[in-house]
Chains A and B, each alone.
Chain A
Amino acid sequence: MLVVEKLTHVYPNGVKALDDVSLMVPKGMYGLLGPNGAGKSTLMRSIATLQVPTSGSIRFGETAEIDVIKEPEAIRRTLGYLPQDFGVYPRVSAYDMLDHMAVLKGIGNGRARKETVESLLNQTNLWNVRNKALAGFSGGMRQRFGIAQALIGDPQLIIVDEPTAGLDPEERQRFLNLLAEIGENVVVILSTHIVEDVADLCPQMAIMDAGRIQLEGAPSALIDGLKGRVWKKTIAKGDLDDHRKRYKVITTRLFAGKTVIHVLSDTDPGDGFEPMPQGLEDVYFSTLTSARAAA
């Protein structure tokens, strides 16, 4: 269990990337959804001990016994982290780098390390290219290497930050499947701005924007909360501004030259709107819309 309490982080330039964030993350996949710049990566990095937050606390463990900020060494022993963006050393092969990472993560025993490295190279489909320099890898291959290294040592806390960005649909699917399988027994935090990633996999989620947790819960419950409140209308492009003024528009989308808008309304707004089966995307955008309206 990961417990984040009142976490605030202010960058030297004055940007408040985290603003009183509190979260309780149980075992299983946990989706952290938010637009770019919402503070997701800052939160992820804070949990991964890579930066020290300005205030607040982070605890982890069966009984949340590890104070992550005070004892970063303790959490690192059971942490798997795949950052949003990472590079590689020059002239180092996938095998050697994974082996090296295994050493860093505490697999000192040679046999155990061999088993770890070979198993992970197989799982991530990198066995054939294990002796090639990582520097030449494509984005997808590199990402697979990233997940492989995150899984070393059977971590209890796995943090993956925007893992599917830059992957093709097939790769993305395979990646998510792997995650889902791992996520059964450990805490996995999946940070993303892609709604489907969360919708398909995560029993629990939070929506983050402007450094705050805007909404938290199980995706299905959140979707249910919008039941009967989402309405759709196809309008001419020129009418958009007028509609924005009159309704609470949560999404707009071009479709065959016309604009399709979704609005949020407890009652039927009439005016050509028709009821719409709500999805997680509507939850997401309505949360962002109201968060920004409040700000």
Chain B
Amino acid sequence: MAKVVLKLGDDISTDIIYPGRFMATVLPTETPQYAFADHTEFNARLKKGEIPPGSVIVAGKNFGCGSSREQAASCLKGPDLVVVAKHFARIFLQNSINLGLRTVICPEIEAEEGDELEVTADKVINKTSGKSFDIVPLPKARQAIIDAGGLIPYTRQRVLAGKK
């Protein structure tokens, strides 16, 4: 069970998730401090450690559209958040899979801030409203990367195997 800590609309761009003015900060260990920097209340709660790992951000269509900046994924991976969205923009989804940020594609999701969600293998169950919603699986091409624990360990295996 996890609580919805942020509810967002459609087309949330990487400029909202991680504003461009903080892009000189690149290391995954340092990016979480600027997550949703212009959502000052949420950002303050995140920095104070008031948001437990596994908490959920719920969003509409095309989450993560815009820039390829990987900080937008690493800043949410650091505090171990989960993003449930109707669907994701391509590069953001890829970055999330590569870094191991948990993303859930749930086209019909209905949830409000404060709702308790349970994410199973194929459904998101909103315990607060009693409704459940089907999950669309992540692209099959990506499963091997997910299974390896992210792209760095996956590529490391390839490098070690000498399969160039």
A binds B: no
Q: Which residues of A contact B (CB under 8 A)?
A: none
